[in-house]
Amino acid sequence: MTKNLQIGDLNPPTRILMGPGPSNVHPRVLRAMSTPLVGHLDPYFLQIMEETQELLRYTFRTKNEYTIPVSGTGSAAMEAAFANVVEPGDTVLVPTNGYFGKRMESMAMRAGGEIVHVDAPWGEPLQVEEVARAFEENSPDVFAFVHAETSTGALQHSVEELTSIAHENEAIVIADTVTSLGGVELEVDKWGIDVAYSGAQKCLSCPPGASPLTLNESALEKIEKRETLCRSWYLDLGLLNGYWGDDRTYHHTAPITSIYAIREALRLVNEEGIENRWERHLRLASALKSGVEAMGIEMNAKEEYWLPSLNAIRVPEGVDDINVVKLLLQKYNLEIARGLGDLSGKIFRVGCMGHSANAHNISYFMMAFGSALQKEGAAIDVKAGLEETYRKLE
């Protein structure tokens, strides 16, 4: 006899996703995901793979041959970078200015790396002099940094200066570009980034499942010279190259539907034009930022390192951030997030990413956020904020 489990139809609410990811998915991407499967070695799929790689190179601004979508979420692409580039005994320099620097540390350590730190407070970028000093003191083999810190809303500037220091010291640079790829200016080749990884569900507005990764020749050389095997079989870039490289032989079954999805999401990036896309994020996030400031609320990041794709807004005096986030979800169907770690209870995190970055969402957010803060008794000028946002959106 069949047991009736009383499980209903899948009918998720239609949220407006303005948190730290996922962002809302474009209907064309959802449509691509409902198309028929083909085999992962079908000639049709091999063509799809090549096109996806070409689109990834366009979006990363790189000519790197080794540019692939890694099976899994952003952390899988991140682990692929650390597990292959870091060899047991390597010294790895990681940042302390946010949540994802800590994750870098965990992954580098598991790969056998000796960890050293370059410090900056949560919510601030790394300073060039601090990185230079860390190189003098520790001569690391690998230097990792987070381009767009989703936990704090800080954008790492002076990237070319950081990579120059690393290269003068013959170190490989790994950049976390999960919240910058397709949202804020990023130039992998021009800026001298050796390895960059990203995620699908942030500024690319694609469901998580296949995650961008690119490596240049210097990084591949370091990997080829390894004396020990990569500790991960699944993420071994040498083995993966059997499938993504010229041979096209089986390693693991590609997540076919996720590749369809990211190909469509990247096609949208290409149609819009990458520079136009950076400009759109900047313009819409500016309307949000100056509206919030006109309400009398402070942004957490200074102008020079404000991150358009993730806006860290300081929680006004006397306001309970938990209530605000809850009210926005329950009453307005709008997702934003609270602060983490050192910034817990101190900031709201408001994403302005990909398909979610549009005038409708920005003005809706301003209205709902203003109203929720007023309900919490915050002394803010909602009207001035809305007027400023509308003025900027015109």
176 is an interface residue for ligand PLP by CB under 6 A: yes
Nearer CB in complex with ligand PLP: 21/370: 21
Nearer CB in complex with ligand PLP: 52/389: 52
Query: How big is the site for ligand PLP, counted in residues (CB under 6 A)?
Result: 13
Query: And the tokens for 294?
Result: 């006109």
**Which residue in the set 199, 212, 291, 316 belongs to the binding site for ligand PLP (CB under 6 A)?**
199
Query: And the tokens for 305?
Result: 């390192």
Order across the sheet with 310-314: list the strands: 310-314, 347-351, 337-338
Smallest distance from the beta carbon of 343 to ligand PLP, in angstroms?
Answer: 14
Smallest distance from the beta carbon of 348 to ligand PLP, in angstroms?
Answer: 16
Nearer CB in complex with ligand PLP: 60/332: 60
Phi, psi angles (nearest 5°) of residue 38: -125, 170
DSSP H stretches of helix in 228-320: 237-244, 256-272, 274-295
Smallest distance from the beta carbon of 147 to ligand PLP, in angstroms?
Answer: 8
Distances (CA, A) of 77 to 83, 107, 199, 326, 343: 10, 11, 8, 32, 26
Nearer CB in complex with ligand PLP: 125/291: 125
Tally of CB atoms within 10 A around 2: 4
Smallest distance from the beta carbon of 178 to ligand PLP, in angstroms?
Answer: 4
Interface region with ligand PLP, contact rule CB under 6 A, candidates 53-61, 67-75, 277-285, 291-299: 67-75
208 is an interface residue for ligand PLP by CB under 6 A: yes
Residue with the closest Cβ to ligand PLP? 74
DSSP H stretches of helix in the chain: 27-32, 43-60, 74-85, 99-110, 128-138, 159-168, 217-224, 237-244, 256-272, 274-295, 321-332, 359-375, 382-393
For 21, how many CA atoms within 13 A lie in the half-sphere containing its CB? 25
Strand partners, 214: 67, 196
Q: Of the candidates 301, 352, 345, 287, which has an alpha carbon nearest to the alpha carbon of residue 319?
A: 345
Strand partners, 17: 335
Query: And the tokens for 13?
Result: 């609410």
178 is an interface residue for ligand PLP by CB under 6 A: yes
Interface region with ligand PLP, contact rule CB under 6 A, candidates 68-76, 224-232, 234-242, 327-335: 68-76
Smallest distance from the beta carbon of 251 to ligand PLP, in angstroms?
Answer: 21
User: Site map for ligand PLP, 81-120, x if CB under 6 A?
Assistant: -------------------x--------------------
User: Site map for ligand PLP, 21-40, x if CB under 6 A?
Assistant: x-------------------
Smallest distance from the beta carbon of 107 to ligand PLP, in angstroms?
Answer: 10
259's CB contacts (< 8 A; 6+ apart) are 45, 48, 49, 52, 69, 210
Interface region with ligand PLP, contact rule CB under 6 A, candidates 62-70, 112-120, 172-180, 252-260: 172-180
339 is an interface residue for ligand PLP by CB under 6 A: no
**Which residue in the set 59, 138, 152, 179 belongs to the binding site for ligand PLP (CB under 6 A)?**
179
The bridge status of strand 148-149 relative to strand 91-95 is: unpaired
Q: Which of residues 116-155 bind ligand PLP (CB under 6 A)?
A: 146, 150
Identity (one letter) of the amino acid at 325? Answer: V
Which residues contribute to the site for ligand PLP (CB under 6 A)? 21, 73-75, 78, 100, 146, 150, 176, 178-179, 199, 208
